Amino acid sequence: MNAGRKPEIVCIGAQKAGTSWLHVTLSARSDIWVPPFKELHFFDHKFVQECRRWTPWHVKKGLKEARARHLAKTVPPNEDYLNYLSRLEERPILNGTWYKFVFSRAAPDQMCLDVTPEYSCIPDAGVDFFKRFLPEAKLIYIIRNPLDRLTSQLRMAAQRKKVPPTSQTDWNELLEMSALKTRGDYKANVTRWDARFAPDQLLYLPFGRIRKDPLGVLRQIESHCGLPSQDYKTAHQQVHQTAPLIIPDFVIEQLQNATAEQDQFLQDRFGAEFFEASS
């Protein structure tokens, strides 16, 4: 194993914008290596205080699920792989040594992929560090229509509550979540990444094209990352659709008000055609 590997491809966002589809679809390639669980959170753990409260739990949960999948499918189990998972649980975790060890099982002829949507929200100092740490990485940022993305995120947040929101107070409490403001703040996030990465390194994709032309999106990713063209049997399959939940009209109105500035920014930055394709 090479303990010093780093990812050559990183999908930095956005949350609720098809990143799970990207992870599942690209992981089917033999020349792509993905970690044992999606979303490593290395950069946001380092630079976003709010994330540090739950990122260790996320790592532990991801490793537990990876171990369970392996034991269910592999007989006899691969002890080297199980030892690798155990090593990833040993403290300290989520530092640079840990992050590089995550990719240590990749073959020399494979490109490593990290898909962590929260990376798009790290502050200026975090993006500066990212550029120093991964100066040659190819980046992918999927842009989803701000209202659609925020509505999906709100549904997910509501469904994670032990008691679903029923009153106006419940909904207002959800609307105050800081993650609702940061993860879809394209005006701040895109501007921050634009300032440090040129188009030959950072690829923006409109979310709606995944549904309408998934193979076209994958060909664009292949070209951007220097990957040979391949067939993708699962390209048209939807991954991790948020369960339906009725959102009150007063909440929808607040979401519309909250995303109006983001709509305008995306149209100014990418053009009307890209913005339309983001839905």
Give me the domains of the chain, ranges plus CATH numbers: 9-277 (3.40.50.300)
- What confidence category does residue 244 fall into, taking pLDDT thresholds of 50, 70 and 90? confident
Lowest average pLDDT, out of 53-67, 73-87, 211-225, 234-248, goes to 234-248
E-assigned strands of the chain?
9-13, 32-33, 111-115, 138-143, 202-206
Segment 168-173 shows an average pLDDT of 90
**What pLDDT is recorded for position 159?**
85
**What pLDDT is recorded for position 2?**
60
Report d(CA 134, CA 82) in Å as an integer. Answer: 28
Output the CA angle 241-245-247, nearest 5 degrees: 125
Q: How many residues does the chain have?
A: 279
Report whether pLDDT(263) > 80.
yes
Segment 56-81 shows an average pLDDT of 97
**What pLDDT is recorded for position 45?**
98
- Among the residues of 103-167, which ranges form H helices? 124-133, 146-159
Report d(CA 177, CA 161) in Å as an integer. Answer: 13
Q: What mean pLDDT value characterizes the chain?
A: 95
Contact 31, 109 (CB under 8 A): yes
User: What are the b/e assignments for 46-56, b being 16+ CB within 10 Å?
Assistant: bbbeebeeebe
pTM for this prediction? 0.95
Segment 89-94 shows an average pLDDT of 96
DSSP-assigned letters across all residues of 234-249: TTT----PPPP----H
**What pLDDT is recorded for position 252?**
93
Nearest 10 degrees: CA dihedral of 98, 102, 106, 110?
-100
Report d(CA 204, CA 250) in Å as an integer. Answer: 32
Q: Which two tokens stand for residue 183?
A: 């993860």
Segment 83-92 shows an average pLDDT of 96
- What confidence category does residue 191 fall into, taking pLDDT thresholds of 50, 70 and 90? very high
Q: How far is CA 169 from CA 115, 165, 174, 244, in A?
A: 35, 8, 9, 21
Nearest 10 degrees: CA dihedral of 234, 240, 242, 244?
60
pLDDT tens per residue, range 107-159: 999 999 999 999 999 999 999 999 999 999 999 999 999 999 999 999 988 88
The percent of residues in the chain predicted with pLDDT above 70, rounded, is 99
Segment 68-82 shows an average pLDDT of 97
